[in-house]
Structure 1
Amino acid sequence: MPEGELYHSAPIAVEKEWIDYNGHLNMAYYNVIFDRGGDEFLAALGFGPAYAAERRLTIYTAEVHICYVRELHLGDTVTVTSRLVDFDEKRLHSYNEILHKDGWLAATAEVLSLHVDMSGPKVSPFPADILPKLEFYREAHSRLPMPPRVGRSIGIRRK
């Protein structure tokens, strides 16, 4: 990742089985797309399959807030962009967007993840050797404008 840029996943094609009776991508499969793109970003941060297998440490999702912005259909190809908003000793706060190959925004997901020792399983601190990569991404992404959907709450707005 060049400095100051978001992480971009490999292209993901919308699959036939993901289309609902309304003719568009079923809401559950936006999660699948975010999960696939998010897994690539986690691997870039150092938390890929080898990390889990060798160290018995991994990342669990604690909370997700998805905003569905524009419908996706069969034949659409997307990528997931990811940014590390923040982290502490045991948690990651990330923000992701599904972008259509033509550049428009389909959905956003704000995610709070936990670092987990699988022997418990229990939440545990990040190992010291992982922290420099987290610092690098947090610093690089902090130079970008904060997306307006970060930190949104859900509710009915009244006048």
Structure 2
Amino acid sequence: MSVPFISNVMEIEKGWIDYNGHLNMAYYNVLFDRCSDEALDLLGMGAAYVRDRKLTIYTAEVHVCYVRELHLDHRVTASFQLLDHDDKRLRVYQELRHVDGWLAATSEFLALHVDMSGPKVAPFPGDILAKVEAMRAAHASLPMPERAGRGIGIRRKPA
């Protein structure tokens, strides 16, 4: 397991480019989500988890920072760093990077483990929690990202 988890290389699709000539803001989330799908699959919480166990992950909150424009010919990877968890939630930080290494965007999200029979928030089963704990332990050696925990506000100069 890479620390942090790094997605496969992803390409920007033509239909994702907006009238400003760059990647539309919504599709940064698509790229982050595709990385999350890869990481969650590694943790045993992919499509088969929903189908076979009727359990899944719902996103409760997301904060995206757009750092640098992406364009049609760009190829990117995204990271998935598990910052924290409890028996029902995951806190994850992600970075979207051009294959040349520069930072395009960051995302931080809080996810809930959900029993689809409700749907209702439910604890992770023991086997899944063990995988989550193993990833968290592997990621614990990473520094807290500078951009994690950011809020939104307008900075004012003192009068």
RMSD of aligned residue pairs (Cα, Å): 0.8
Matched residue type, 2:73: G
Q: 1: distance between equivalents of 2:106 and 2:92? A: 11
Which ranges of structure 2 fall in alignment gaps of 5 or more residues?
none
Q: CA deviation at 1:158?
A: 2.0
Q: CA deviation at 1:40?
A: 0.6
Q: 2: distance between equivalents of 1:158 and 1:130? A: 45
Q: Which residue of 73, 80, 83 maps to 1:85?
A: 83
Q: CA deviation at 1:56?
A: 0.1
Matched residue type, 2:72: L
SS in 2 for 1:81: strand
In the TM superposition, 1:120-135 aligns within 5 A as 120-135=118-133
In the TM superposition, 1:1-159 aligns within 5 A as 1-2=1-2, 5-159=3-157
User: TM-score of the superposition, structure 1-length normalised?
Assistant: 0.96
Q: 1: distance between equivalents of 2:147 and 2:14? A: 29
Q: 1: distance between equivalents of 2:36 and 2:132? A: 15
SS in 2 for 1:130: helix
Q: 1: distance between equivalents of 2:50 and 2:85? A: 19
Q: Which segments of structure 1 move beyond 3 Å, counting only runs of 4 or more?
A: none
Give the paired residue count: 157
Q: 1: distance between equivalents of 2:93 and 2:26? A: 18
